Amino acid sequence: MMNQFRRINKTVRGTAIFMALLMIAIVAAIAVTLLRTQQIDIRRTQMMITSEQGYLYTQGVVGWAISALQSDLRTPAASSAWPMILPPTSIADGQGKISGILQDAEGLFNINNFTKITNNNVINPSSNPNQAAGNVSTNIQVNTAMTTKKNTGINAASTSNSQTTFINLLNVLHIQLSQQQQLNLIAAITDWISTQIPGTQNTVNSFDQIYARMNPAYKAPHQPMMSISELRTVAGVTPAVYNQLLPYIVALPENTNINAAHSPLLLQQALGLQANTPPSTSTQQIPSKFFLLRTDVFLQDQHIVLYSLLLRSTDPKNPIVNILWQSLGTE
């Protein structure tokens, strides 16, 4: 009887010890989980604070650009001063650096010149799929004549001049497209940004059919591009073509001439200007209105890139600069 009692007593003690160890293990697991969750929350909060701090630093660079544009309107900078560069500058606490590049957007090729923009109001950006479509044959014709408009730089605002300049740019950049593919690309861009009139034959065209076959399917907006990144979704624009064109093109909310004095060298060549020969300065050029600012902020382990499109008045007595849009990571 005593032996049986002892065995039962040992069993009870063993069970109690096991339950105690099990409770300790459960409590330890909960504590580890809570500690890990707390660490994740702390890290997430740190990243959010750093991101917000970085964004505020980008707005400081925007302030620098606005001040520079206002000063430039009062005392125009030399052509060699463009683009204006804010060199990498250490942040006060030594945890990062900021830099900026301010470019005359009218010194680039405006992709929206392929159509006549009648409404100059800024359109709200809209997201588009990142797929590109193939080539489509077209009968578009290109006028190879180049003209210059007095006091406003190279006249690329007309459709024919835009087509000529664009083809010249493709050739200068040695982008491997046949003549027919170049014409197809112009047709696709023109279709993308041109308003479609209901009831006309081109309301539903071959480009819409191409986009409908994409995965996921999408439609051309038939309005001027808000961002040059939209070009990536146009039929015939491959990643290679887009990346080669990107430093020389922009999407502005109205038709613009090219301020060749502030253009990259290869774009000047596409405009028919001789290398190392600045555009004629015999007449005073109308100041540009649109400017593109890229801001880079390196803060701790984050890299924040902010693009801003700025609109400047052309009145030296009242140099107002407005921000048309800002975009994180993409132009």
Query: Alpha-carbon distance 290 to 256, whole Å?
Result: 9
Helices (H), 75-125: none
> For 51-71, what is the mean pLDDT?
91
Do the first three CATH levels of 1-108+258-331 and 127-244 match, i.e. the same topology?
no
Q: What is the pLDDT of residues 290-320, one digit of tens each?
A: 999 999 999 888 899 999 999 998 887 888 9
Which residues make beta-bridge pairs with 325? Answer: 309
pLDDT band for 61, please (50, 70, 90 cuts). Answer: very high
Say whether pLDDT at 140 is over 90.
no
| Of the listed ranges 29-33, 55-59, 74-78, the one predicted with least confidence | 74-78
Closest to 260 in 3D by CA, of 268, 251, 250: 268
Output the average pLDDT for the chain.
80
261 class by beta-carbon count within 10 Å (0-12 exposed, 13-18 middle, 19+ buried): buried
Q: Which amino acid is at 243?
A: N
Residue 243: burial class (beta carbons within 10 Å; 0-12, 13-18, 19+): exposed
Residue 158 has pLDDT above 70, yes or no: no
Q: Which long-range contacts link 310-317 to residues 24+ away (Cβ below 8 Å)?
A: 310/62, 310/65, 310/66, 310/69, 312/69, 312/70, 312/73, 312/287, 312/288, 313/73, 313/289, 314/73, 314/286, 314/287, 314/289, 315/73, 316/73, 316/74
Q: Of the given ranges (161-165, 283-287, 326-330), which has the lowest mean pLDDT? A: 283-287
Fold classification of 1-108+258-331 (topology level): Pantoate--beta-alanine Ligase; Chain: A,domain 2 (3.30.1300)
Domain chopping of the chain, boundaries: 1-108+258-331, 127-244
Query: So what CATH class is 127-244?
Result: mainly alpha
Span 114-142, mean pLDDT?
A: 45
pLDDT in the model for residue 301: 83
pLDDT above 90 (res 133): no
Lowest mean pLDDT segment, chosen from 88-97, 110-119, 132-141, 277-286 = 132-141
pLDDT of residue 161: 83
Question: Which structure tokens are listed for 227?
Answer: 């961002």
Higher-confidence position of 55 and 16:
55
Q: Is the pTM of this model over 0.85?
A: no
Distance of CA 4 to the CA centre of its chain: 83
Q: How far apart are CA 127 and CA 149, in angstroms?
A: 36
